[in-house]
Amino acid sequence: MTPIKPLVLAMGCLAFTAHCFATPQRPNIVVLVADDWGYSDVGAFGSEIATPNIDTLAREGVRFSDFHVTASCSPTRSMLMTGVDNHRNGVGNMPETMPDEHLGKPGYSGALNDNAVTIATQLKDSGYHTYISGKWHLGKTPDTLPPNRGFERSFIQADSGSDNWEERPYAPLYDKAAWFENGVPAHLPKNYYSSTFIVDKAMEYIDQDRQDGQPFFAYLGFQANHVPVQAPRDMIDKYHGRYDQGWTALRKARRDRAVELGLIPAGSGMVTMGSTADWDAQDADQKRYEARRMEVYAGMGETMDREIGRLIAHLKATGEYDRTVFVFLSDNGSEPTDPYDIPAVRMWLEMNYTRQLDRLGSKGAFTSIGPSWASAAASPLSGYKFFAGEGGLRTPLIISGVPAMQTDRIVKAFTHVTDIVPTLLDVAGVPAHNGMYQGRAVEPMIGSSLVPVLKGVTDRVHPQDQAIGYELSGSAALFKGDYKLVKSLKPVGNEQWHLYNIATDPGEVNDLQQQMPERFVAMQADYAEYVRVNGVLPMPAGYDYMHQGQLYALKHVVIPKLKAAAPAMVAVIVMLLGGMVWWRRRKRGV
């Protein structure tokens, strides 16, 4: 009997080894979220901005030319994390732009609720390490921070953004920059720059657990290119003179490049946004200043790409790259708001930042690109962040590293941010829940896995007759097949419904409501059903996101500070606030 034992042991080892080799190793997953990047801000989508590392992911993977998110950051991030509509996962609107009438209503807490299970929770429970660095903006109370939403290690910015060079807020919306590490208030290092730090933390977390062989999920929420637009001087100067021809010329050049790349149909129309200024009407000083703003923006984008390249190089050096799935996207379209145009914010900025030409992009300086450049960043689409035009909702999506996928190609099928969670669970071999998770009822995911499309098995993600609704701050849309029903609030829209075929007309030039009256009416009924099922609340009359942001700042920062310092001042502020509301409603005829 004794001589047989070594043979049995050897046979057992061989069987175990064969089993190990027969079972594919589960991939790592890296999600890269850019902030406020327009549709054509990536080189692989038509940009002149140098993004070689992201472009490499595109060549090694797939570009999705018809990918849709929401028109603002945290609602998109909530769906990216859960696969659940934002009105059902708690983020029906951002806290900073939510009207008082919606506060506390179901779906409008402004933070992820407990009924939506995150991708991090599902992957962690299946044996993945889970990390996040950078922007979170899905809650800042202990129960809503990443450690309670499935992340083992985290270093996050809990607000809508902050300065990229220092630990301080970027607007009077906050009294401080809310950074947390593993759920505990944290501080930034002295030599801080946002994109560099976010990648540093991701690599640090990955390395801490690398020896145990478990796969990891790493989510990097970049602040580029959210305001304030800031970047290293050498990166900015690389673009000196590049934008001297202005925003209209850039918008056209990017549209032509997108056609050449095959991202949009040849001959696609393109509107001129009403908020786009006449470049030729600017004097020489104005042109130089405006061009510099866009140079800073380009430098910020390239710096983010450089840091992504550093992460990629690290994964290659440690042998992890070839088994890593990458997802790159932007959380919404380009940012049109110039904070200096908002009276209360301008006053704060004048006290805390400079906007001198020779300092733009540097520490202590503040700039944005404004609506004219934002229109170019969104080229060839109409609209931008905060509104329901394609320029606000359609952003670049790149996926690479999925085993057996067909690479270096463009998928033109309509795709939605809620498709990302089912896709990542699919590639990780984790069954997607169907509304029950670990014995309790939860919100069901509504997206579809993109894996069949990635592998070339099918060319469509959603059935032609599937209606996919959208609403944020009163601007709304309904997608069905190749068609889009859409209305946007003023000043970008006229608050009326329009109908477009966004497969052939992504620029939303040709309104089809007269040619297709039955479809126009039917899709309005589909939208009404979306509102009913998801508890979408109507916006109060006269709502404006910039005005609402000022009210938020007064309520959460200005008044508390004044109340502590001089109670009499509070009465003055309240009177002014009441006057603002009265004047605005009178102006709108409410």
Phi, psi (degrees; rounded to nearest 5) at 375: -65, -40
Q: Which residue has the tokens 């498709």?
A: 419
Distance between CA atoms of 77 and 74, rounded to whole angstroms? 5
Cis omega (within 30 of 0) on the bond before 228?
Answer: yes
Distance between CA atoms of 311 and 317, rounded to whole angstroms? 10
Distance between CA atoms of 341 and 545, rounded to whole angstroms? 13
The count of other CB atoms within 10 Å of the CB of residue 180 is: 19
Among residues 337, 356, 335, which one has the least CA distance to residue 223?
A: 335
Distance between CA atoms of 494 and 221, rounded to whole angstroms? 33
Query: What CA–CA distances, in Å, run from 209 to 133, 205, 212, 241?
Result: 16, 7, 6, 46
Compute the CA torsion angle 84, 545, 373, 254 (nearest 10 deg): 30
Query: What CA–CA distances, in Å, run from 399 to 43, 221, 258, 324, 521?
Result: 15, 16, 19, 11, 36
Terminus-to-terminus CA distance in the chain, angstroms? 95
Among residues 460, 435, 437, which one has the least CA distance to residue 445?
A: 435
Cβ atoms of 128 and 199 within 8 Å: the answer is no
Cβ atoms of 326 and 30 within 8 Å: the answer is yes
Among residues 267, 545, 523, which one has the least CA distance to residue 392?
A: 545
Cβ atoms of 62 and 400 within 8 Å: the answer is yes
Catalytic residues: 73, 137
Distance between CA atoms of 520 and 34, rounded to whole angstroms? 34
- The pair of three-digit structure tokens given for residue 245, joined into one six-digit string: 């021809």
Cα angle 200, 206, 211; round to 5:
140
